[in-house]
C-alpha cells in the first residue's frame, strides 16, 4: 500500500508576464500600475523597474493563467488613461502606451498554452480598449511578424502610415492607431536567461572569438545571443549571453562549448554568472546532465510536490 498523497492529480500552472509600459518618468504612475498588479488575486509581482531616459518601465509578474490575464487587463485599465504617446519622448523605441506584453511558460504550461493566452488577451485588449494588437514571436500569425523590431519599426509616430498598408493590418482591433495609446505587441516566448562566463585571461580577442563561435547570428547555437567584453577593473574578459530557449539550447551545452573553445586558446573558465531570475527547470536540467541521471521526474523534487498539492 503506497499512496502519493493528495497532490497527485493537479499541477500548478505558472505563466510569467513582462509588460513594457511607455512611462518611466512619473514614479507615482509606475507605483499605481504596480499596485494594480498586486491587487489581482493569484498573481505575484516579482520585480519592476523604471528608466527615465528610456521613459519606460518593465513589470515582471507570474501566476496561474487566469490571474495573469486579469492582471494584464488591470494594467491597461490603469495605464491607458494616464499615458498619451503624442506627448511622449524617450530613447527606447515604442509603438504604444502599453508597448509589449510577452507571456512566458514557467511550469505546468506549454508554449501552446501561452500562445492561446496571448491571443485571448489580445482579443480582449482590442475589444475593451479599442487598441490594435499585433501578435509576435511564438504567437505570430506569419514569419514577417515574428520579430518585435520589424513590427515596431517606424514607432508610434509612423504607425498611422504603416497601418494603412494591407500587410500591416493588425491581428486584432481597429485598423487605425488608438489616438493616445498607439498599438500593442502581444505574444509568447520562452524565458530569457541572462548568463555570463568569465575567463581567466585579459585577452578580449578570445572572448570575442568564443562569442562569435557560440552565437546564432554567426553560426553558433540557435538560441544564443553573445558578445565579448573586457571587465577592466578585474583584468579579465567575459562572454556575455542571452539564452532565449533553455529547453532547446540548454545552459550545460553552452557552458561546455565555451569551456572547450577557451581551451583552444589555453584559457580556462574562471566562473559563470546567472543574472536575475532563472526557471528551476533550467538548473535541474544541468544537474541531470552532469550526473547522468536517468528517468528523473520534476515531481521527485520535494518542493514541487508541495507546490502541486496546494
287's CB contacts (< 8 A; 6+ apart) are 293
140-145 long-range contacts, CB within 8 A, separation 24+: 140/187, 141/171, 145/171
| DSSP element (H, E) containing 194 | strand 193-199
Q: What is the C-alpha to C-alpha distance for residues 238 and 199, in angstroms, rounded to an integer?
A: 6
What is the DSSP secondary structure assignment for residue 208, as one 8-state letter?
H
Q: What distances in angstroms separate CA 11 from CA 14, 70, 108, 121, 201, one per listed residue?
A: 9, 21, 6, 23, 46
How many residues belong to the site for a second copy (CB under 8 A)? 64
Q: How far apart are CA 40 and CA 14, in angstroms?
A: 15
Binding test (CB under 8 A) with a second copy, winner from 18, 106, 111, 186: 106
Residue 77 binds to a second copy (criterion: CB under 8 A): no
Q: How far is Cα 230 from Cα 199, in angstroms, rounded to an integer?
A: 10
Pairing of strands 98-107, 43-51: unpaired
Measured from the CB of residue 81, what is the shortest distance to a second copy in angstroms? 22
Nearer to a second copy, 217 or 292 (CB): 292
Single residue of 21, 71, 98, 107 touching a second copy by CB under 8 A: 107
Which of 212, 283 has the CB closer to a second copy? 283
- Nearest distance from C-beta of residue 57 to a second copy, angstroms: 8
Confirm whether 88 is a catalytic residue.
Answer: no
Q: Which of 11, 26, 46, 123 binds a second copy (CB under 8 A)?
A: 46
Name which of 203 and 307 has its Cβ closer to a second copy.
307
Q: Does 273 bind a second copy (CB under 8 A)?
A: yes
Positions that interact with a second copy (CB under 8 A): 1-7, 14, 16, 27, 30, 34, 38, 44-50, 60-63, 106-107, 191, 198, 251-252, 255, 269-274, 276-280, 283-284, 286-288, 290-296, 300-307, 309-310
Amino acid at each position: 500500500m503506497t499512496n502519493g498523497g493528495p497532490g497527485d492529480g493537479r499541477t500548478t500552472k505558472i505563466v510569467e508576464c513582462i509588460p513594457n509600459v511607455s512611462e518611466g518618468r512619473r514614479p507615482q504612475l509606475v507605483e499605481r500600475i504596480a499596485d494594480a498588479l498586486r491587487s489581482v488575486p493569484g498573481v505575484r509581482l516579482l520585480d519592476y523597474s523604471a528608466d527615465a531616459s528610456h521613459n519606460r518601465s518593465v513589470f515582471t509578474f507570474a501566476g496561474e493563467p487566469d490571474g495573469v490575464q486579469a492582471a494584464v487587463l488591470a494594467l491597461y485599465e490603469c495605464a491607458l488613461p494616464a499615458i498619451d504617446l503624442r506627448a511622449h519622448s524617450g530613447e527606447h523605441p515604442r509603438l504604444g502606451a502599453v508597448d509589449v506584453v510577452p507571456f512566458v511558460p514557467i511550469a505546468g504550461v506549454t508554449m501552446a498554452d501561452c500562445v492561446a493566452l496571448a491571443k485571448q488577451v489580445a482579443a480582449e485588449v482590442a475589444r475593451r480598449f479599442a487598441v490594435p494588437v499585433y501578435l509576435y514571436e511564438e504567437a505570430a500569425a506569419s514569419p514577417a511578424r515574428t520579430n518585435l523590431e520589424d513590427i515596431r519599426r517606424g514607432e508610434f509616430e509612423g504607425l498611422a502610415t504603416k497601418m494603412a498598408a494591407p500587410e500591416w493590418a493588425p491581428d486584432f482591433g481597429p485598423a487605425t492607431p488608438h489616438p493616445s495609446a498607439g498599438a500593442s505587441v502581444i505574444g509568447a516566448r520562452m524565458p530569457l536567461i541572462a548568463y555570463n562566463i568569465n575567463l581567466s585571461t585579459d585577452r578580449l580577442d578570445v572572448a570575442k572569438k568564443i562569442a562569435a563561435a557560440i552565437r546564432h547570428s554567426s553560426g553558433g547555437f540557435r538560441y544564443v545571443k553573445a558578445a565579448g567584453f573586457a571587465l577592466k577593473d578585474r583584468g579579465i574578459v567575459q562572454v556575455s549571453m542571452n539564452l532565449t530557449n533553455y529547453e532547446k539550447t540548454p545552459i550545460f551545452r553552452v557552458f561546455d562549448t565555451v569551456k572547450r573553445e577557451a581551451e583552444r586558446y589555453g584559457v580556462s573558465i574562471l566562473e559563470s554568472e546567472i543574472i536575475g531570475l532563472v526557471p528551476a527547470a533550467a538548473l535541474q536540467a544541468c544537474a541531470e546532465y552532469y550526473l547522468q541521471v536517468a528517468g528523473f521526474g520534476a515531481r521527485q523534487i520535494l518542493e514541487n510536490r508541495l507546490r502541486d498539492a496546494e
